[in-house]
Amino acid sequence: MNKNKTYQTDQDLAEGCARCEQRAQYRLYSQYVDTMYNTAYRYCFNKVVTEDILQITFTKVFASIQQYDAEKGSLKSWIRRICINTTADVLKREAKWEPLWDGGWEVAGENIHLGQFDAEFLLKLIEKLPPEQRLIFNLYEIEGYSHEEIAQIMGINVNSCRVYLSRAKKKLRKAIEQLEGV
């Protein structure tokens, strides 16, 4: 193996990993581990669980790396999707999912304008949400998944997904109002 080999593109790096080149595997892992750690941690706020999720994530990444296609998106996005799906799988086993939709609509009300708060403050508020609400909030508001995608990932009704998100937003709004003295 050429020790000076560089991987110019995501596709080159993925192909190197598919050929089981340790240098490529190390580079991929070291390049993305911190980002994936932060992604998984934001969902569970537990270092041990996050480390387990990372182990599973990178095992899945290396096992399916030949499926990566640079024309469909960046390697980071592809790995992030695997990480999020793995995180959701791990957390939904522990969550207490209840069917929430009773035929009516629960509306979250006004949007929360989160731009006025720093990330650390917001993470502390999100951490206090019940795990089911935190998972839905992260997937929808931070990752940009649709309700339909979340419902499919979580194995719940689309309308239940909306209710979980609504309840999460209400709790966040209430926490912000209490802190602001409103």
Phi/psi for 96 (5° steps) reads -110, 80
Average pLDDT over residues 3-31: 91
Instruction: For residues 2-8, give the mean pLDDT.
Output: 70
Q: Which CATH class is domain 114-180?
A: mainly alpha
Q: What percentage of the chain reaches a pLDDT higher than 90?
A: 55
pLDDT for the residue numbered 154: 86
Residue 14 in this model has a pLDDT that exceeds 70: yes
Q: In 10 A of CB 80, how many CB atoms?
A: 18
Q: Where does 14-164 show beta strands of DSSP type E?
A: none
Name residue, tokens 């957390």.
91
Indicate whether this model's pTM tops 0.95: no
146-166: per-residue pLDDT in tens? 999 999 988 888 998 999 999
List the domain boundaries for the chain. Answer: 10-94, 114-180
Please give the pLDDT value at position 115: 55
pLDDT confidence bin for 97, thresholds 50/70/90: low
pLDDT, tens digit, 9 for 90 and up, residues 28-39: 999 999 999 999
Residue from 52, 53, 1 nearest 26 by CA:
1
pLDDT of 146 reads 94
Into which CATH architecture does domain 10-94 fall? Orthogonal Bundle (1.10)
CA-CA-CA-CA torsion sign (67, 71, 74, 78): negative
Average pLDDT for residues 67-95, to the nearest whole number?
90
At residue 4, the pLDDT reads 52
Taken in order 94, 100, 101, 102, the sign of the CA dihedral is positive
Q: Are 55 and 42 in contact (CB under 8 A)?
A: no
